[in-house]
Amino acid sequence: MMENMNDIVLSIRGLTKKFGSLQVLRGIDLDIRDGEKIAIIGPSGCGKSTFLRCINCMEDPTGGSIIFDGEDLVDMKVDINVHRQKIGMVFQQFNLFNNKTVVENIMLAPVYVGVKALNRIKRKNAFISFFNTFRKNKKPLAAIETTEQQIRNEAKERALDLLRRIGLEEKANVYPSTLSGGQKQRVAIVRALAMNPKVILFDEPTSALDPEMVGEVLALMKSLADEGMTMVIVTHEMGFAREVADRILFIDEGQIKEQGTPAEVFDDPKNPRLKDFLSKVL
């Protein structure tokens, strides 16, 4: 395991989450390093998915800190949408837009972000141009090196490249309702990849799939792991966790009760709750 603190992508300290009087997370500390694959296991209702959703603030943490790119995502002053661009999320239920084609689903976020940035520059230039009419020393305008059409073209090219990679290029112009569950989940994964994220969070990505479709999704995830993608995966697939993960976290009652390498966690568990859990799932 890497020990250089500069390798840390996400640093989580004292993370808590309450829903009313129900305490779901009870002070989680975790450092996630660049290129690390972390699998999170534990019984249903233990807080695994809530923890994942708190990492990119889809659920607002009750307390603690999540440091990413030098900023605390829990801080209300931080623009979480800027950081979400680099923290991909893959859900159990795919969350594809059924009124958009496959390629449009993948293009959606890159085009939105790119056009929003372009319009920000245009507004700033318009503001500067207006006040330049009253200035002796004119302020320079920001260079605009792209157009909305170029942004769309580049996003489409990237989307088609990603679909080609997973063998679904011929499905680019169909709607998600025509895809199998496995195909939908693979599209959802490459949709996350379209933003070039630093880390991808997977929330039980195979739990909604028929058994025969699980393999194709896990194969794509394994290829991402082999390429060095930083991944945090909530999963019930113990064989996959053993094969892919650098580190396994066992969460129970909203706390990390044990963590270690797959060999340490699966072959030599120490925590009684972990031993009981593994006896039921292995």
- Residue 264 predicted with pLDDT over 60: yes
- Residue 209 predicted with pLDDT over 70: yes
pLDDT digits (tens, 9 = 90+) for 210-227: 988 999 999 999 999 999
Which pTM was predicted?
A: 0.91
The alpha carbon of residue 71 and the mean position of all alpha carbons in its chain are separated, in whole angstroms, by: 17
Rounded to whole angstroms, the Cα distance separating 54 from 25 reads: 10
Q: Are 7 and 33 in contact (CB under 8 A)?
A: yes
The interaxial angle of helices 102-132 and 181-193, nearest 10 deg, is: 20
pLDDT digits (tens, 9 = 90+) for 59-114: 999 999 999 999 999 999 999 988 989 999 999 889 999 999 999 999 999 999 99
